[in-house]
Amino acid sequence: GGNAAVVATAALARSKRRRGKAKPMPEDQAVYPAKDLCSRCGFCNTSLVGRVQEACAFLGDGMARLDQLEERVHGRQRNLEDEMELYFGVTVEDGVVPLQVLPEQRPAQRAWTGLVTSMACALLAAGRVDAVLCVASAAESPKKRLEPRPILARTVEEVLKCGGVKPMLSPNLLPLEELWQVRGEDIKRLLFIGVGCQVQALRSVEEDLGLDELYVLGTNCVDNPRDSEALQRFLRSASETPETAVGFEFMQDNRIHVKHADGRYEQIPVFALKEPENCTGVIAKSCYACFDYVNALTDLTVGYMAAPWQGGRMTEHQQYCVVRNQKGQQMLDLLAEKLDVGQASSLVPNGWSLPRSQLVPSVLSPELDLAFGRRRRREPPPRWLAELLSDVVTALGPRGVEFAKGSIDRAALRNLVCLEVDLLRQRAGPGRELEEILPRHAKVIRARYHELLQEMLEKYQG
C-alpha cells in the first residue's frame, strides 16, 4: 500500500545518504584495499566503498567479525559445545537436512540437483522478492561459460540461466550499484546468492542497502580459483580435454569429477593430478585466509559434502542444506513439494571408518606443498595405483558429516599455517595479528590439532 511505499522510499533515501559520495572503484582496478588478499567480492565496485574497513572480510579483524555478525543476523552466536554448530554454524533445531530436488523438477542447468536455482525460482514466483542477485555466465562458449557475471535477475527464466558453479572469484556485490542507480524503485525485496566472503560484506552493511527485505541464500565455498587463467591451469592438470569442461567438483570418492559440454564425465583420482606443481597459485590468496567454508551468515546454506555418499553423477546426487533462521525455513518450506527430503540420521554414517583426525595429517602436507610451491620429492603414482588409493581412502575414510568436518578441518589448518608462516606477515601488512582475525570456531579447531600444527609450522617456516 501507500504506507509501504513511503517506508521503502525512506529506506532508499537513507541508504543513499549513508553511501555518501564515495566513487565506486572501476572493475579493472589493479589494487584493492585488501591487496593480495582481496577476493574481488565487488563491494569496492559500489558506492559503499567508503565503508570497506568494516565490511571487508580481509581487512582489520576480518573474519573474526563473523562472531558478532552471527549474533546480529541469527540472534546468537554458534554454540561451540555442539559439534554440529561448531562446524556448520548456527542452525535451527534439526536444521541440517539431506535433500535433493525431485528428478522431474530439476532445472536443466545446474551444479548438483539444482537446489539453489529451484529455491530462488520459488521465491521469485511466489512474489516474496522482486529480484534475485545471482551469477550468470560471461558468455555461452564452453570457456566463458565458467566465467562469472553477477546479475539482478527479474524473471524465473533469467534465474534458470544462472544454474551451475562458475568456479572463480566473482564480484557478487557489484550489481547492487545498478540496483541503487537504476532499479531502486522496482527492487525493494532482494534474494542475494553468494559465498562466505561476499555474504560477510553484504551483512556488514545490511541496514544501509536501501531494501525492505533481504533473503540470503548461499553455498559452501573453498579454494576458489583466482581467475580464468588459473582455472584453465587447474583444468589442464585434471582433464584430458580441459577445453570442453563445464564444471567440476571434488567428490567424496576422492576423485575430481569433471563434467563436459557433450555430457561426458571424467573421474580423476585426487592422487593422479598431472604436474600438480603447476597448480601453485591457482587458488586465490583470499581463500588461504578464509575461515567461512560453510557461509555462516546466510539464512540457508546449500552444499554436498555432508550428504551421504551415493556414488554416480553429481547432477543426480543428494545434497544437504543448513537452515539457520526463520527466513531460511521459509525458503525451504516454499520448495517442499519439489523436494525429496532424506532422514537427518542418514547424514551420520554408520559402520566403522578411520577417524578424520588420522586422515587430516596426510592430506595437509601435500596441500601445503601446493600452497608454498614446494616441489614433490616423488613422482605421482601410476594411474592404477592412484585409483586404488582413492578407492581405499573412500572405503575406509570418513563419510557424510564426518567427511565434511574433515574438509573443514583441512582447510582451516592449512590456512592457519599459511597465515602464520607467510601470507599475513608478508602481504597483509603489519598490525594484523593472527589471534585477532580468527573467528571462535577456528580457534577451537586450532586447539584440537595443536601438535600437528606445530609440526607443520616448523616444516614450512624454514
Q: Which residues bind ligand SF4 (CB under 6 A)?
A: 32-34, 38-41, 43-44, 52, 55-56, 58, 169, 195-197, 201, 221-222, 224, 284, 286-287, 290, 292
Considering only the stretches 182-190, 206-214, 220-228, 358-366, report the one whose residues sit in contact with ligand FAD under the rule CB under 6 A.
220-228
Shortest spacing between CB 412 and ligand SF4, in angstroms:
11
Binding partner of residue 134 among ligand FAD, ligand SF4, none, CB cut-off 5 to 8 Å per kind: ligand FAD
Is there binding between residue 111 and ligand FAD (CB under 6 A)? yes
How many whole angstroms separate alpha carbon 319 and alpha carbon 166? 18
Number of residues that bind ligand FAD (CB under 6 A): 34
CA 225 to chain centre: 12
Shortest spacing between CB 139 and ligand FAD, in angstroms:
15
Using an 8 Å Cβ cutoff, are 239 and 229 in contact?
no
Choose between 197 and 282: whose C-beta lies nearer to ligand SF4.
197
Binding partner of residue 197 among ligand SF4, ligand FAD, none, CB cut-off 5 to 8 Å per kind: ligand SF4
**Dihedral sign of CA atoms 279, 283, 289, 292 in order:** negative
Is there binding between residue 305 and ligand FAD (CB under 6 A)? yes
How many whole angstroms separate alpha carbon 188 and alpha carbon 9? 9
Shortest spacing between CB 45 and ligand FAD, in angstroms:
15
How many whole angstroms separate alpha carbon 313 and alpha carbon 318? 10
Q: Return the axis-axis angle of helices 450-461 and 440-448, rounded to nearest 10°.
A: 90
Binding partner of residue 165 among ligand FAD, ligand SF4, none, CB cut-off 5 to 8 Å per kind: ligand FAD
Q: Which helix (H) or strand (E) holds 266?
A: strand 265-269
Binding partner of residue 363 among ligand SF4, ligand FAD, none, CB cut-off 5 to 8 Å per kind: none
Considering only the stretches 75-83, 218-226, 323-331, 338-346, report the one whose residues sit in contact with ligand FAD under the rule CB under 6 A.
218-226
Tell me what percent of the chain is helix, strand and coil, each rounded to the nearest 5. 50, 15, 40
How many whole angstroms separate alpha carbon 257 and alpha carbon 187? 38
Q: Is 77 helix (H, G, I), strand (E, B) or coil?
A: coil
Choose between 116 and 428: whose C-beta lies nearer to ligand FAD.
116
Say how many C-beta atoms besides its own lie within 10 A of residue 461's C-beta. 10
Q: What is the DSSP string of 300-346?
A: EEEESTTSPP--S-GGGS-EEEEE-SHHHHHHHHHTGGGEEE--GGG
Binding partner of residue 172 among ligand FAD, ligand SF4, none, CB cut-off 5 to 8 Å per kind: ligand FAD
Choose between 165 and 246: whose C-beta lies nearer to ligand SF4.
165
How many whole angstroms separate alpha carbon 146 and alpha carbon 140? 9
- Which of 41, 66, 96, 193 lies at the binding interface for ligand FAD (CB under 6 A)? 193
Is there binding between residue 231 and ligand FAD (CB under 6 A)? no
Is there binding between residue 286 and ligand FAD (CB under 6 A)? no
Shortest spacing between CB 300 and ligand SF4, in angstroms:
16
Which amino acid is residue 461, in one-letter code?
Q
E-strand spans in 291-399?
300-303, 319-323, 339-341
C-alpha cell belonging to residue 388: 586404488
CA-based nearest residue to 94, from 331, 342, 439: 342
Q: Which helix (H) or strand (E) holds 246?
A: strand 245-250
Q: What is the CA radius of gyration of the chain?
A: 21
How many whole angstroms separate alpha carbon 230 and alpha carbon 247? 15
Choose between 43 and 320: whose C-beta lies nearer to ligand SF4.
43
Is there binding between residue 172 and ligand FAD (CB under 6 A)? yes
Is there binding between residue 95 and ligand FAD (CB under 6 A)? no
Is there binding between residue 220 and ligand FAD (CB under 6 A)? yes
Considering only the stretches 10-18, 87-95, 163-171, 380-388, report the one whose residues sit in contact with ligand FAD under the rule CB under 6 A.
163-171
How many whole angstroms separate alpha carbon 343 and alpha carbon 197? 31
Binding partner of residue 408 among ligand FAD, ligand SF4, none, CB cut-off 5 to 8 Å per kind: none
By the criterion CB under 6 A, which residues form the site for ligand FAD? 110-117, 134-135, 148, 162-168, 170, 172, 193-195, 219-222, 224, 249, 302-305, 319
